[in-house]
Amino acid sequence: MSRPTTKDLAKVAGVSLATVDRVLNERPGVRQTTVERVNEAIKAIDFVRDISAANLARSKEYKLVFLLPDHDDEFIDLILEAIAEANRSLTHERTIVTIIRAPANDPRRLVEEIDKLSATEVDGVAVMTPETPQVRDAISRMDARGIAVVALVSNQPNAESAYFVGINNEAAGRTVGQLMARFTGEKHGSVLVLTETMQSRDSQERRLGFDVIMAKYAQRLKVCPSMETYGDSVRTAQIVRSALQSRPSIVGIYLMNHDIYEAMQAIEALSPLQNVVIIGHELTAHTCARLIDGTLDAVISQDVGHLVRSSIRVLKAKITSIGTVASQERIRIEITLRENMPEERQTVGR
Amino acid sequence: MSRPTTKDLAKVAGVSLATVDRVLNERPGVRQTTVERVNEAIKAIDFVRDISAANLARSKEYKLVFLLPDHDDEFIDLILEAIAEANRSLTHERTIVTIIRAPANDPRRLVEEIDKLSATEVDGVAVMTPETPQVRDAISRMDARGIAVVALVSNQPNAESAYFVGINNEAAGRTVGQLMARFTGEKHGSVLVLTETMQSRDSQERRLGFDVIMAKYAQRLKVCPSMETYGDSVRTAQIVRSALQSRPSIVGIYLMNHDIYEAMQAIEALSPLQNVVIIGHELTAHTCARLIDGTLDAVISQDVGHLVRSSIRVLKAKITSIGTVASQERIRIEITLRENMPEERQTVGR
DNA sequence: CTTTAAATGATGTACGTACCTCATGTCAAG
DNA sequence: CTTGACATGAGGTACGTACATCATTTAAAG
């Protein structure tokens, strides 16, 4: 037979529809013993509320917010695009996603934005921002206000209320290490590591994983200390130049951030890049182009569309206290070479 | 304002609700000019039918079928598991997935099973079977009967009605080629290619892609002709033994099928495998274990859960003639090393 | 102009749930 | 026994769509 309805539930529990409704929606005025009777009946007939009918009746809309850094780079652009796409297909599911931008490096303003969000206007929030104590506390306050929270891309390991949607950065670093070890063959020499800043937990974790594998499988290679670019193209050029000059035998470069435009420019301007293995992060128009032209050997990435859709699913699941399919929400650490690049990216120029 | 409803549509089109209903559900008795007027209004106010409300009203259930080969291997097991998981989470969405098994290599019985499916009992079918003319025709007949069809894992390029859910096998072969070329460093020697059969289009495509890249980037390596195992362990052992003996300098092995148990056994029994790069397909318990113990160097795979969920989404989209989000349905060619193996697989023993 | 068929409108019920109001029941304290 | 608080039942309306029936209008044919 078909799915049991509230009517069936009422019959089995031996109560009226009104009481079933009171129990299901946790309305007051039901004796504890009756509540239990209904709950037993729910288990007995395996009753599950029909969410679409419920949403229809409530004419409820899920109001979700993505809180993103306010600087613009290709990765953020990808996320914005993915959100726009999700929004298009989610109109059919009573879900509205809006975007709030806030300075990632100004905790005060960030916290201000978070505290502004009221449970009456917002049901769930996906937060993409570096971990700081202030942010952690602001997240806890949101949770207390009854707003669902997920941490996007950057984990918030100390905010238990925030489910993490993203990859394990230490494993990502290990993966890069393994690729670097194997792609460099038997060669000896040194490996550069460039990052925007080592302040961020993500960078630290990636570096950690990278070092573990390099130590294990590529002792022939000397891994240099991380060089920080601070996103400054002049500084980047300078750093790269002096590194390439002082170390003649560079065989590999790990670009730990997705915004690698300046670094690549500086590198290319300076040396013939034959036989230097370069590995970067995230599948942007720029990295794709570099994969195709062969400058970049591999890219480690996470599916941005998946990140966004998964965040939305998890938020909605939290809001309705429904379970999620764990395997569907797992974000994979993707390795992309020129050969397995998604076809729609292969034509995208820079 | 909120989503437009059929009422709004009726008002804008200047017709009654009944007529709107007739147009939306393609019922007879509406003049062509009126149909067009309503369709214009649909565009004008961007009306989209509320699918959950529609399903509720129809008390419709989507009845989907997965038609799978009737032999058992680890890959099929993964698919079965993914279907079971999908089924659990889809009860909430009025979708029931059932499974039919049929001998993949007996086109007659296969076609018989397909022809048995009636549009009254089934709304959509995902077919996983090698391409043959008989099957292609049977798929066309299903389409004519009004049953939605997708081709799963194995493409049916000559059956236009079947949307393909799976990876580009030629690109997968290229990817293996690139990894083989890079993982073997500067070494010279030969590369073995083992497959169950070269009859299947999938194997042919993979081989093609593999050869292209090997010719381009690894001319130092000699790629041997594909050796067919026919899934027979005795034969496999024999083939592998003679190959390893007659060719002293084997530096790489490409196991083109997911069922690599026999081949791995045979290989291991015969030679010290130091420095031989072995690359296989699909993330099964067995391949994961081999990745962990280091026998296998890389695995090319497709996310089975994604395959199944995507098939279901595409089928439902076809049934309701709603669009899909292209980027969500793209199945990636995944490269898995020990380092980026999904965490839940790392503890799975054999 | 009438006849007739086709096109359209008006209206009601249903799907499964939410939410509201009002009536009736029960039980313990006074 | 009465009072009152609380528990429960009965019934209705709504959400957006599907589908059926019957009444009415419109257009084409005679």
- Contact (Cβ atoms closer than 8 angstroms) between residue A21 and residue A40: no
**Residue from B327, B329, B336, B345 whose CB has the most chain A CBs within 10 Å, to mutate:** B327
Closest chain B C-alpha to A287 CA, distance in angstroms? 17
Cα separation, B326 vs B310, in Å, equals 10
**Residue from A1, A52, A58 whose CB has the most chain B CBs within 10 Å, to mutate:** A52
Q: Where are the domains of chain B?
A: 6-49, 59-166+304-319, 169-301+338-345
Q: What pLDDT sits at residue B272?
A: 62
Indicate the length of chain A as a whole number. 350
Q: What pLDDT sits at residue A273?
A: 61
Q: What pLDDT sits at residue A173?
A: 98
Q: What pLDDT sits at residue A350?
A: 36
Question: What is the crossing angle of helices A74-90 and A304-319, to 10°?
Answer: 50
Cα separation, A69 vs B348, in Å, equals 38
Footprint of strand D on the protein (CB under 7 A): A 14-19, 21-22, 28-31, 33-34, 53, 56-57, 59; B 2-3, 5-7, 17-18, 21, 24-25, 48-50, 53-54, 56-58
Nearest CA in chain B to A332: B342
* Backbone torsion region of residue A141, taken as left when φ is above 0, otherwise alpha when ψ lies between -120 and 50, otherwise beta: alpha
Nearest CB to B91; choose among A48, A338, A343: A48
Six token digits for residue A210: 């990278």
Domain B59-166+304-319, CATH number (from 3.40.50.2300, 3.30.420.40, 3.30.300.130, 3.40.50.920): 3.40.50.2300
| CATH homologous superfamily, domain A58-166+304-319 | Response regulator (3.40.50.2300)
Tell me the β-bridge partners of B228. Answer: B195
Whole-angstrom CA distances from A263 to A234, A266, B323 are 10, 5, 41
Sheet strands side by side (includes B62-69): B95-102, B62-69, B124-127, B148-152, B163-165
Instruction: Return all residues near B125 (Cβ < 8 A) that are at least 6 apart.
Output: B64, B65, B66, B67, B114, B117, B142, B147, B148, B149, B150, B315
* Backbone torsion region of residue B230, taken as left when φ is above 0, otherwise alpha when ψ lies between -120 and 50, otherwise beta: left
Closest chain B C-alpha to A273 CA, distance in angstroms? 17
Cα separation, B156 vs B138, in Å, equals 12
Cα separation, B94 vs B63, in Å, equals 9
Cα separation, A58 vs A206, in Å, equals 45
- Contact (Cβ atoms closer than 8 angstroms) between residue B250 and residue B244: yes
Cα separation, B151 vs B201, in Å, equals 14
CATH fold of the domain at B6-49 = 434 Repressor (Amino-terminal Domain) (1.10.260)
Size of interface A-B (CB pairs under 8 A): 129
Query: Which residues of chain A, if any, have pLDDT below 70?
Result: 1, 270-274, 348-350
Nearest to B336 by CA among B294, B290, B299, B286: B299
Q: Name A residues 44-63 whose Cβ lies under 7 Å from strand C.
A: 48-50, 53-54, 56-58
Closest chain B C-alpha to A141 CA, distance in angstroms? 30
Q: What pLDDT sits at residue A349?
A: 41
Residue A309's SS3 state is helix
CATH fold of the domain at B169-301+338-345 = Rossmann fold (3.40.50)
Whole-angstrom CA distances from B325 to A84, A333, A349 are 12, 22, 22
Nearest CA in chain A to B82: A327
Instruction: Return all residues near B13 (Cβ < 8 A) that are at least 6 apart.
Output: B19, B20, B37, B38, B40, B41
Residue A35's SS3 state is helix
Cα separation, B64 vs B47, in Å, equals 28
Topology match between the domains A6-49 and A169-301+338-345: no
What torsion, rounded to 10 degrees, do the Cα atoms A66, A72, A75, A76 define?
10
Element (H, E) at A76: helix A74-90
Instruction: Return all residues near A192 (Cβ < 8 A) that are at least 6 apart.
Output: A224, A227, A240, A243, A247, A250, A252, A253, A254
Nearest CA in chain B to A57: B53
Cα separation, B217 vs B214, in Å, equals 5
Cα separation, B161 vs B146, in Å, equals 11
Query: Which residues of chain B, if any, have pLDDT below 50?
Result: 349-350
Cα separation, B126 vs B150, in Å, equals 5
Cα separation, B329 vs B189, in Å, equals 40
Six token digits for residue B42: 């649909």
The CA-to-CA distance between both ends of chain B, in Å, stands at: 56
Nearest to A95 by CA among A305, A307, A316, A311: A316
Six token digits for residue A140: 């806890």
- Nearest-nucleotide field for B57 (CA, C1'): C15
pLDDT digits (tens, 9 = 90+) for A67-96: 999 988 899 999 999 999 998 888 777 888
pLDDT digits (tens, 9 = 90+) for A245-285: 787 788 999 999 877 777 777 777 766 666 899 999 999 99
Chain A residues lying within 8 Å of B328, measured CB to CB: 305, 309
Nearest to B327 by CA among A163, A307, A289: A307
Chain B residues lying within 8 Å of A344, measured CB to CB: 326-327, 330
Cα separation, A117 vs A144, in Å, equals 12
